[in-house]
Amino acid sequence: MSARRGENACLYERIRLTDVIVKAYSRDTMPSGAGAYSVCVPNRAEVDVPSESAVAKMPPEMRGILNRLEGHECAHLLWTMCKDMAAHEKQQQYLMTAAGKVMPDHFHKFFNIVEDPRIERILCDWKQGMESGFGEMIEQFWQAGDMAYVKTQDMEECLQLYLLLAGRCRYHHVDVMRADVLAARQDLMQYVSEKVVDRIDSLLHDVVMTGRPEDVDSASVLRNTCHVMDCVAEMLKLCGLDAVDQSQQNQQSQGQDSQQNQQSQSQDSQQNQQSQSQDSQPEPTAEEQADADSLRAAPPENKGQVNWDPDQRMGQGGELLKNIAEELGKAVAQLQQEADRNGTVSPVVQEQWGGSFGGECKPHKPDPDYWSPKSLKDYHPQGEQLFKSRLVGKVLRQTSFNTGSIRKWGKAYSASVMGRQIPSDAMRKFRVQQDHGNDVDIVLDASGSMRDKSCPEKSRMLVALPVAWSIHKTLLAVPHVTCRVTTYSFDETHVLLKQHERVPFSTAASRYTALGGTPTHLGITESMQSLLSRPGRNKLMLVVTDGEARNDDWAVRAVRTAQARGIHVIMVFIGGVSKTTRSVYDGVCDCVDVPDMAGFENAMYRQLAQVI
């Protein structure tokens, strides 16, 4: 789980204690319809929130709203979501059937509308003092016209609006909305009797008072949410919004479940009835009645449309959130511009990428189970000699042109190829001119798919590693070239071969472990940072991968960033690549497809020779 700072840290911690892994994603710019978003499925529970660095740049009142919305999404994970899949599936099944023939998406919308004030009530019970912040936020929505009375088109909308406004106004003490609630209530009474509306009020109260802060386990969440659904189903029935052809079977099974729920809820219900009788709605004042009358009488062109699922369709009326999204977009753009100027990756992108971003490249952990490095000791790649001789000619021409002292250099170079140390005074003569020098990184995919345990010879890592090692070794002998080999997997990058590091193949092999995911973006970004810090003029990054990155968008963004900084990025697809994956990188950078692994070595040297 990503550790989140700020006022919601204890909510994240509480979710973690319920054994749910939560991914908190940072989102660049929120869609106009959402301030935060959650996926309430236990095996991929997720809260999407705006980037912390961008939020930090925003005015304090907007920051407050976004924090509050993030808290709301956390509350869904705690009190709406069952923590294990079995209970979750039961809950979803109940959601599909509780209302009989009412379309599930309509029913879900009603469920959301009443579930929101319920979980907010629990949250406020748990964290005293949160209610004031929430009330203020609702008031801001009201001022922006997002959560206010509008003329409705039909009974369904009318009931939605009434539940929305009444839930928010009454239970979060937003008195400024009382005239709006009254107007919506009187609209509803055009369709149903006052007695029915009173019953709806009491059902809403029952819903909001269901559950306690400690009810976070699967069984309690299932029990509580099913009770909420029963209440909603009854409201719809009271208003005749359940379809007439509701099947007998549904009614029966619903009846049984309801009974069960009612039993488990009996304690709560008793309390509810008590507080309901103590807490009956105050009579509207004459002023409120007059306000409500004028709201209802206003000309229709000023009226928006109500069809408001608070979690999914806020965009339809979310002026306040649109403003926030706009401010957020500006903050993100500003951070991006700053990053571009400094040649770094913006903190917003860093948050998105998560993991070990910007951390040190770690030394590799050997994997003794897989490699038997002894048998690999004598590896001699064929392309090496070819490449060396081509290099000798090319580099010699260059150097003689630049320095005019070819003979001395040639001696030093051949000494180096023979594995002897180059005398330091000889090297000094051939120091990099401003206009040349090469820095090369070979970035190897170390995801699980690179290895084939059943058949090690076919394993892609076994093909990739010797070639990378031999290139690294070859380039040790070439002046004005730095070369590293790195790997990426999980959320980490590792250095396999450092610059100027002379190690036997077996040592290199012992450092390469193929396990985990494919965070290509991290591998590319880490390499970019290293390449930019090195002296050569030409920068080459060979990314060797066998397929889809964990997130193609991120990988492409990383490639674009690296290319914009003057790095020549080549994606080398070892073992072939699907058209879909290939199309992601086409037009972004050079791609080399190597379906036949026997051709991998030559393909790599060919790419290298084009640049060096």
Q: In angstroms, what is the minimal distance from the CB of 76 to Zn ion?
A: 6
What residue has token string 């076919």? 458
Q: In angstroms, what is the minimal distance from the CB of 305 to Zn ion?
A: 20
List the one residue out of 240, 249, 218 whose CA is nearest residue 90: 218
Nearer to Zn ion, 313 or 565 (CB): 313
**C-beta of residue 447 within 8 angstroms of C-beta of residue 516:** yes
Nearer to Zn ion, 107 or 512 (CB): 107
Nearer to Zn ion, 120 or 492 (CB): 120
Span of 108-116, 348-356, 395-403, 518-526 interacting with Zn ion by CB under 5 A: 108-116
Span of 19-27, 111-119, 156-164, 211-219 interacting with Zn ion by CB under 5 A: 111-119
Nearer to Zn ion, 116 or 601 (CB): 116
> Is 120 near Zn ion (CB under 5 A)?
no
Distance CA 201, CA 118 (A): 14
Q: In angstroms, what is the minimal distance from the CB of 312 to Zn ion?
A: 9
CB neighbours of residue 88 within 10 Å? 19
Distance CA 108, CA 121 (A): 20
**C-beta of residue 47 within 8 angstroms of C-beta of residue 73:** yes
Name the strand (E) or helix (H) holding 120.
Answer: helix 104-126
Span of 114-122, 531-539, 544-552, 594-602 interacting with Zn ion by CB under 5 A: 114-122
Q: In angstroms, what is the minimal distance from the CB of 126 to Zn ion?
A: 16
Nearer to Zn ion, 197 or 208 (CB): 208
List the one residue out of 542, 564, 581, 605 whose CA is nearest residue 449: 581
Nearer to Zn ion, 117 or 437 (CB): 117
Q: In angstroms, what is the minimal distance from the CB of 116 to Zn ion?
A: 4
Nearer to Zn ion, 311 or 492 (CB): 311
Give me the amino acid identity at 247: S
Q: In angstroms, what is the minimal distance from the CB of 162 to Zn ion?
A: 18
Nearer to Zn ion, 90 or 313 (CB): 313
Contact pick of 4, 36, 81, 116 for Zn ion (by CB under 5 A): 116
Span of 7-15, 277-285, 309-317, 510-518 interacting with Zn ion by CB under 5 A: 309-317
Per rule CB under 5 A, count of chain residues that contact Zn ion: 2
Q: In angstroms, what is the minimal distance from the CB of 134 to Zn ion?
A: 12
Of 241-280, which residues contact Zn ion (CB under 5 A)? none
Distance CA 557, CA 128 (A): 43
Span of 267-275, 308-316, 337-345, 393-401 interacting with Zn ion by CB under 5 A: 308-316
> Is 311 near Zn ion (CB under 5 A)?
yes
Show the tokens assigned to 239.
Answer: 């208003």
Please count the helices (runs of H) and the strands (runs of E) in the chain. Answer: 24, 10
Q: In angstroms, what is the minimal distance from the CB of 352 to Zn ion?
A: 23
Nearer to Zn ion, 120 or 242 (CB): 120
Of 447-476, which residues contact Zn ion (CB under 5 A)? none
List the one residue out of 263, 257, 268 whose CA is nearest residue 234: 257
Q: In angstroms, what is the minimal distance from the CB of 161 to Zn ion?
A: 17
Three-state SS letters, 167-226: HHHHHCCCHHHHHHHHHHHHHHCCCCCHHHHHHHHHHHHHHHCCCCCCCCCHHHHHHHHH
- Tell which phi-psi region holds residue 421, choosing left (phi > 0), alpha (psi between -120 and 50) or beta: beta
Residues 6+ apart with CB under 8 A from 195: none
Span of 131-139, 274-282, 307-315, 517-525 interacting with Zn ion by CB under 5 A: 307-315
Q: In angstroms, what is the minimal distance from the CB of 75 to Zn ion?
A: 8
Span of 9-17, 110-118, 312-320, 328-336 interacting with Zn ion by CB under 5 A: 110-118
Long-range contacts of 331-336, Cβ-Cβ distance < 8 Å, separation of 24 or more: 331/54, 331/55, 331/57, 331/58, 332/28, 332/29, 332/51, 332/54, 334/57, 335/53, 335/54, 335/57
**C-beta of residue 123 within 8 angstroms of C-beta of residue 233:** no
Span of 5-13, 39-47, 51-59, 306-314 interacting with Zn ion by CB under 5 A: 306-314
Scored b (16 or more CB within 10 A) or e, 573-585 reads: bbbebeeebeebb
Of 27-56, which residues contact Zn ion (CB under 5 A)? none
**Would you call 484 helix, strand, or coil by DSSP?**
strand
Give me the amino acid identity at 114: V
Positions that interact with Zn ion (CB under 5 A):
116, 311
